[in-house]
């Protein structure tokens, strides 16, 4: 990488210097070349010694720019950016902040004496500040990403160990419980019933049958409890592990539950995680109670400063009766949990926005009468204590991107010596600046609603091209200069669109404003020959050019950011399911064995004993023989199941 960077810097600087004949000064050129080489050589140690490397590259970049006598060169601004990025990836925040501040200060001090005007200096300073802030934010986000990956990899390994341990522990527990609960009772039935069957006392035989029936019922109840599937009671390991486990447990019980978790997962305060889990749990309980069999969708969105919860179920079947099982405290309790943290909670029948204060069964009955579809619970819980909002690197990067896409076109529009919109009136200039600033606003939501951000940006550009662009071709040129906004929005769709949603239309949507702008630009050009085919041609050519430019950004977002997020989501789901699947697999295997053999023989034992008690003395004697044989068979089947468990 240092060798490639040096090649780019030297070749690019030579090309730029040739335009101004700066390369004819041999001493100046050799000094700048030395600065480039020293800085790139220093980058070899950027991972092991990022602080000294950053100092060296900043000094070399500043010196190279001063030697060349112009900021319009590739001598500076590249090697120090790489060094700053490495520092941000490999060191803690305080060092990164100091390094970024020093890089910005040196760049401003270097550029200031070389600018030709105040406007030119303001533009260069703004570019430098935004440039280094973006580099710093990207490096810190990369560090956080690598930390999450390492933590998830360690947790995956631990989950695999826990899975094996859980499977072994569950086998031992089930074997112990089977032996203690069923083995003793069935053995007692075999011994007692077999002994009594050889006597001639009819009362003793009926007492033995009654005891066998009672013992069989006890065994049935104990074994049924033993194989019951219980969901998690506490959100251990965070929402990303507990909620999938909760929903998977309900799905195994036949409840159609879907779970979606969006956004970067922060480290939640325990009370926030507990409240979120309990709200989802109570909502799912209500859905099962009042809309049995109806699909339920659970959505969790991690947004800056808060966590948003949505639990929505479809309406139950028309012939399903609304049970009076509720206490009337479910919704009130969820609301109290949310409000205790400074959040909000609303619960209502679908298509209603009014907060619910009445019981859910009453509202559900009304919903059926009015033809509404299902029920929705929405909650917003703040993740920052004290009502404050911590500014993270994601927010810094978002703000920088928005500022870059909004401010830079405005600066370019009025920066001498050749301002694009220098002829505009004061009111016109103010309107254009406001439009350019508003144009960057949709990018703030590009992570949470990427398609909405892209669509809003495209609509604004199309509207500007079709209205003001027909009056001023310079505005159309400015829209093309602001094209990086579409690139950012298309990248966001590829990387942050909801899982399962198609993202390939993004480059085509982003290319529509380009096609319209090119068309208006050529149609309003007096030198363009106006023919019937000029509009279709320019629309097609402009759209094709836009797609070709935007397609790499979509692929970048989909393959890099999107793949990383999918890997993290899959890892969390795997960790949540590993232990539960191991335990559940053992329970399922034992349950199948019990249902197929032990439970069946025990149930037949109870029926035989009850029939013998109600029959004649001969029936009682035959029933005792049958009970003894069924108990012995059940006991043998159970021991075979225990042997199979012990072999593993």
pLDDT score of 368: 44
Does the pLDDT of residue 433 top 60, yes or no? yes
Task: Spell out the residues 6+ positions from residue 496 whose beta carbon is closer than 8 angstroms to its own.
Answer: 446, 447, 448, 450, 557, 561, 562, 565
What band does 389 get if pLDDT is binned at 50, 70 and 90?
Answer: very low
Please, what is the Cα angle at 300 between 573 and 154, to 5 degrees? 30
Distance CA 71, CA 613 (A): 104
Does the pLDDT of residue 357 top 50, yes or no? no
Distance CA 648, CA 642 (A): 10
Find the helix or strand (DSSP H, E) in which 297 lies. strand 296-303
Does the pLDDT of residue 16 top 90, yes or no? no
Does the pLDDT of residue 23 top 60, yes or no? no
Q: Which of these ranges, 43-52, 503-512, 587-596, 634-643, has the smallest mean pLDDT?
A: 587-596
Choose the most confident range, by mean pLDDT, from 358-362, 534-538, 541-545.
541-545
Residue 316's closest CA among 298, 289, 354? 289
Choose the most confident range, by mean pLDDT, from 13-27, 318-332, 541-555, 622-636.
541-555
pLDDT score of 369: 45
Please, what is the Cα angle at 134 between 131 and 140, to 5 degrees? 140
Are 86 and 55 in contact by the 8 Å Cβ rule? The answer is no
Q: Token pair of 507, please?
A: 């480059």
Calculate the alpha carbon distances from 441 to 132, 304, 495, 596 in Å.
21, 16, 19, 64
Local structure of residue 392 (DSSP, 8 states): -
Local structure of residue 595 (DSSP, 8 states): I
Are 409 and 478 in contact by the 8 Å Cβ rule? The answer is yes
Task: Spell out the residues 6+ positions from residue 292 whose beta carbon is closer than 8 angstroms to its own.
Answer: 316, 320
Average pLDDT over residues 39-53: 91
What band does 353 get if pLDDT is binned at 50, 70 and 90?
Answer: very low
633 vs 224, residue with greater confidence? 633
Calculate the alpha carbon distances from 430 to 20, 86, 313, 557, 618 in Å.
35, 41, 49, 35, 107
Distance CA 628, CA 441 (A): 81
Average pLDDT over residues 218-242: 59
pLDDT score of 176: 66
**Percent of the chain's residues with pLDDT above 70:** 70
Average pLDDT over residues 224-234: 47
Distance CA 228, CA 231 (A): 10
**Could you tell me whether strands 344-349 and 375-382 are parallel, antiparallel, or unpaired per DSSP bridges?**
antiparallel
Local structure of residue 432 (DSSP, 8 states): H
pLDDT score of 579: 47
Residue 603's closest CA among 192, 182, 194? 182
User: Quick one: how far is CA 550 from the chain centroid?
Assistant: 24
Calculate the alpha carbon distances from 593 to 33, 166, 226 in Å.
79, 20, 13
Distance CA 240, CA 259 (A): 10
Distance CA 263, CA 437 (A): 26
Distance CA 120, CA 14 (A): 23
Count Cα atoms within 13 angstroms, Cβ side, for 127.
16
pLDDT score of 21: 56
**Could you tell me whether strands 296-303 and 257-262 are parallel, antiparallel, or unpaired per DSSP bridges?**
parallel
User: Quick one: how far is CA 363 from the chain centroid?
Assistant: 33
**Long-range Cβ pairs for the range 465-471 (8 Å, 24+):** 465/513, 465/516, 465/517, 465/520, 466/516, 466/520, 468/432, 469/517, 469/520, 469/521, 469/524, 470/520, 470/524
pLDDT score of 347: 87
pLDDT score of 615: 79
Q: Give strand ranges (E) for 335-385.
A: 344-349, 375-382
pLDDT score of 509: 92
pLDDT score of 41: 92
265 vs 154, residue with greater confidence? 154
Tell me the backbone φ, ψ of residue 377, rounded to 5 degrees.
-120, 125
Please, what is the Cα angle at 250 between 249 and 256, to 5 degrees? 130
Residue 76's closest CA among 134, 141, 84, 415? 84
Chain position carrying tokens 């500040």: 129
Task: Spell out the residues 6+ positions from residue 395 whose beta carbon is closer than 8 angstroms to its own.
Answer: 304
pLDDT score of 17: 66
Average pLDDT over residues 335-344: 85
What band does 52 get if pLDDT is binned at 50, 70 and 90?
Answer: very high
Q: Token pair of 414, please?
A: 């009025």
**Percent of the chain's residues with pLDDT above 90:** 7
What band does 354 get if pLDDT is binned at 50, 70 and 90?
Answer: very low
pLDDT in tens, 70-82: 777 788 888 888 9
558 vs 157, residue with greater confidence? 558
Its sign, for the CA torsion 565, 570, 571, 575, is positive
Distance CA 203, CA 548 (A): 94
pLDDT in tens, 258-287: 888 887 666 677 678 878 888 887 888 777
Count Cα atoms within 13 angstroms, Cβ side, for 48.
3
Q: Which of these ranges, 60-69, 89-98, 545-554, has the smallest mean pLDDT?
A: 60-69
pTM for this structure?
A: 0.52
Distance CA 522, CA 123 (A): 30
Choose the most confident range, by mean pLDDT, from 31-35, 434-438, 547-551, 563-567.
547-551
Q: Which of these ranges, 21-30, 43-52, 615-624, has the smallest mean pLDDT?
A: 21-30
3-state SS class at 605: helix
Residue 183's closest CA among 638, 592, 633, 606? 638
What number of residues does the chain have?
A: 648
Distance CA 447, CA 392 (A): 15
Local structure of residue 373 (DSSP, 8 states): -
Average pLDDT over residues 539-547: 87
Average pLDDT over residues 572-591: 55
Distance CA 49, CA 61 (A): 18
Does the pLDDT of residue 558 top 80, yes or no? yes
Its sign, for the CA torsion 467, 468, 474, 478, is negative
492 vs 583, residue with greater confidence? 492
Average pLDDT over residues 318-329: 49
402 vs 359, residue with greater confidence? 402
pLDDT score of 326: 45
Q: Token pair of 431, please?
A: 């309107």
Q: Token pair of 624, please?
A: 């005792």
Q: Which of these ranges, 388-392, 443-447, 639-643, has the smallest mean pLDDT?
A: 388-392
What band does 8 get if pLDDT is binned at 50, 70 and 90?
Answer: confident
pLDDT in tens, 161-204: 666 666 666 666 666 666 666 666 777 777 777 788 777 777 88
What is the chain's mean pLDDT, rounded?
76
């Amino acid at each position: 990488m240092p060798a490639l960077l040096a090649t780019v810097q030297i070749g690019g600087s030579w090309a730029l210097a040739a335009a101004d004949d700066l390369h004819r000064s041999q001493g100046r050129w050799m000094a700048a070349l030395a600065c480039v080489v020293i800085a790139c050589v220093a980058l070899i140690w950027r991972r092991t010694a990022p602080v000294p490397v950053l100092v060296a590259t900043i000094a070399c970049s500043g010196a190279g720019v001063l030697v060349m006598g112009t900021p319009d060169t590739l001598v500076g601004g590249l090697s120090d950016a790489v060094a700053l990025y490495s520092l941000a990836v490999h060191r803690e925040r305080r060092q990164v902040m100091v390094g970024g501040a020093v890089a910005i200060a040196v760049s401003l001090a270097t550029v200031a004496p070389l600018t030709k005007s105040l406007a030119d200096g303001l533009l260069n300073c703004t570019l430098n500040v935004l440039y280094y802030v973006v580099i710093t934010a990207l490096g810190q986000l990369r560090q956080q990403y690598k930390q999450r990956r390492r933590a998830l990899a360690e947790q995956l390994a631990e989950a695999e160990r826990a899975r094996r341990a859980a499977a072994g522990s569950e086998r031992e527990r089930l074997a112990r419980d089977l032996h203690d609960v069923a083995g003793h009772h069935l053995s007692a039935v075999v011994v007692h019933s077999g002994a009594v069957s050889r006597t001639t006392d009819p009362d003793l035989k009926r007492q033995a049958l009654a005891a066998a029936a009672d013992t069989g019922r006890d065994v049935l109840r104990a074994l049924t409890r033993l194989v019951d599937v219980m969901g998690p009671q506490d959100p251990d390991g965070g929402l990303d592990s507990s909620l999938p486990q909760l929903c998977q447990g309900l799905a195994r019980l036949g409840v159609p539950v879907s779970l979606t978790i969006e956004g970067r997962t922060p480290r939640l305060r325990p009370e926030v995680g507990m409240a979120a889990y309990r709200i989802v749990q109570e909502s799912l309980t209500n859905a099962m109670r009042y809309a049995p069999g109806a699909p339920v969708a659970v959505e969790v969105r991690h947004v800056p400063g808060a966590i948003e919860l949505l639990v929505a179920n479809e309406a139950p079947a028309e012939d399903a009766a609304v049970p009076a099982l509720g206490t009337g405290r479910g919704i009130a309790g969820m609301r109290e949990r949310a409000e205790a943290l400074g959040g909000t909670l609303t619960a209502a029948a679908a298509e209603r926005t009014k907060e619910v204060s009445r019981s859910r069964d009453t509202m559900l009955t009304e919903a059926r009468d009015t033809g509404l579809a299902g029920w929705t619970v929405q909650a917003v819980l703040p993740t920052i204590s004290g009502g404050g909002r911590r500014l993270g690197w994601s927010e810094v990067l978002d703000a920088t991107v928005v500022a870059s896409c909004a401010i830079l076109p405005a600066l370019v529009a009025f920066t001498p010596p050749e301002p694009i919109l220098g002829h505009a009136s004061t009111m016109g200039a103010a309107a254009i600046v406001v439009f350019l600033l508003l144009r960057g606003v949709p990018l703030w939501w590009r992570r949470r609603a990427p398609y909405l951000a892209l669509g809003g940006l495209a609509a604004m550009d199309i509207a500007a091209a079709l209205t003001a662009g027909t009056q001023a071709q310079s505005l159309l040129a400015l829209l093309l200069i602001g094209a990086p906004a579409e690139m950012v929005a298309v990248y966001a769709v590829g990387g942050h669109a909801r899982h399962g949603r198609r993202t390939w239309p993004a480059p085509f949507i982003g290319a529509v404003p380009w096609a319209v702008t090119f068309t208006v630009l050529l149609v309003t050009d007096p030198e363009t020959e106006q023919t019937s085919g000029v509009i279709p041609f320019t629309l097609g050519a402009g759209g094709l050019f836009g797609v070709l430019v935007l397609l790499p950004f979509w692929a970048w977002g989909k393959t890099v950011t999107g793949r990383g997020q999918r890997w993290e989501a899959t890892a969390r789901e795997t960790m949540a399911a590993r232990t539960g699947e191991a335990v559940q697999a053992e329970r399922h295997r034992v349950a199948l064995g019990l249902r197929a053999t032990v439970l069946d023989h025990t149930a037949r034992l109870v029926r035989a004993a009850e029939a013998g008690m109600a029959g004649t003395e001969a029936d009682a004697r035959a029933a005792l023989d049958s009970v003894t044989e069924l108990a012995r068979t059940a006991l043998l089947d159970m021991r075979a199941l225990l042997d199979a468990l012990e072999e593993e």
